[in-house]
Amino acid sequence: MRAERATEDVGRQLVRYRAWQRRFLASPGDPAVRAQFEDAVAALCAVTSRRCGREAAEAAERRREPEPAGRRSPPGGD
């Protein structure tokens, strides 16, 4: 259950990051938008344990992608 919640948190923060990224790129001179974007970057970095926003976004995208069929663990298996 914890892994599912962590994945949901990463997904939620990634969506928030992408939304504020678009706003920031559209209005880079707006201090309020910049502050919200920086908050979104910090939150995404925290949930992915990355120090760079771009790396955090890439890590979050990889987490959201389904695993290839051959790499999944069987149900109940370790």
Helices (H) and strands (E) in the chain, counts: 3, 0
- Please provide residue 31's backbone torsions phi and psi, each rounded to the nearest 5 degrees: -65, -35
pLDDT at 64: 74
pLDDT at 54: 94
Residue 78 has pLDDT above 50, yes or no: no
Residue 75 has pLDDT above 90, yes or no: no
pLDDT at 63: 84
Q: Encode pLDDT of 4-61 as tens digits.
A: 667 888 999 999 999 999 999 999 999 999 999 999 999 999 999 999 999 999 999 9
pTM listed for this prediction: 0.75
